[in-house]
A and B are shown apart, each in its own frame.
Chain A
Amino acid sequence: DQQVKQNSPSLSVQEGRISILNCDYTNSMFDYFLWYKKYPAEGPTFLISISSIKDKNEDGRFTVFLNKSAKHLSLHIVPSQPGDSAVYFCAAISGTYKYIFGTGTRLKVLA
């Protein structure tokens, strides 16, 4: 049962443009969402999070949008940089403190 889905396995974007990574979830009990970036042979690193009581959270070049009615969240990176090339995972948690991860989207930022 895939409760958190990232339907795009990969995405290529030109340097300086916007990267939009999408994530859908099925469990309406999820109330906190996170985005992680992962480089090969490293552990995931936290990027940004959002509570279900908000619809937007911004941190520098990174903005996360949450649409609860659609059970959809997205991560916007503006402007995209070559160093942003990595695999991005969205994650969701409910009150049980179990973080469920999506399948990941590989972002490639082209110089």
Chain B
Amino acid sequence: EPEVTQTPSHQVTQMGQEVILRCVPISNHLYFYWYRQILGQKVEFLVSFYNNEISEKSEIFDDQFSVERPDGSNFTLKIRSTKLEDSAMYFCASSRDGREKLFFGSGTQLSVL
């Protein structure tokens, strides 16, 4: 079965540094998402992306965050200046039409020191 792939699986960074989390969604999917899960808490919506633009974002997704689809296959999440509270597991997800099941990647564990 096709899958969403995420790299790296773990990322350690110093507070204030920029990080880029990378994702390759399923090839025929049109809707792309980033979610995060702080340890032991719920899976939180960050942003959805369709037709090369953000369709919706949460209050968590402030000016420090940005997303990009630089080519036909990659989907990236950039955090410009990381904070301690950005430490979480970040999940990329994609959906064929935004109405059916959402496929998740295995996540990137981000640790901000």
B45 pairs with A98, CB closer than 8 A: yes
- Find B107's partner among A32, A43, A45, A99 (CB 8 Å cutoff): A43
- A interface secondary structure, majority: strand
Q: Flag A25-68 by CB within 8 Å of B: 1 or 0 each.
A: 00000001010101001111110010000000000000000000
Chain A-chain B contacts (Cβ-Cβ < 8 Å), number: 59
Among B55-113, those with CB < 8 Å from A are 55-56, 91, 93, 95, 98-107, 109
B43 pairs with A46, CB closer than 8 A: no
Find chain B residues with CB under 8 A from A98 CB. 45, 48, 56
Contacts from B to A (Cβ < 8 Å):
4, 31, 33, 35, 41-45, 48, 50, 55-56, 91, 93, 95, 98-107, 109
**Segment touching B, from A12-20, A70-78, A89-97:** A89-97
A46 pairs with B101, CB closer than 8 A: yes
CB-CB under 8 A for A97 and B31, given A43-B104, A45-B104 = yes
Q: How far, in whole Å, are A34 and B48 apart by their CA atoms in the complex?
A: 18
Among residues of B, the one whose C-beta sits closest to the C-beta of A106 is B40
B99 pairs with A32, CB closer than 8 A: yes
CB-CB under 8 A for A49 and B106, given A43-B91, A89-B43, A97-B48 = no
Q: In the complex, how many angstroms separate the beta carbon of B111 from the nearest chain A beta carbon?
A: 13
Among residues of B, the one whose C-beta sits closest to the C-beta of A89 is B43
B102 pairs with A34, CB closer than 8 A: yes
Find chain B residues with CB under 8 A from A38 CB. 43
Q: How far, in whole Å, are A38 and B106 apart by their CA atoms in the complex?
A: 10
Best-surrounded residue of A96, A97, A100, A103 (most CB of chain B within 10 A): A97
B99 pairs with A41, CB closer than 8 A: no
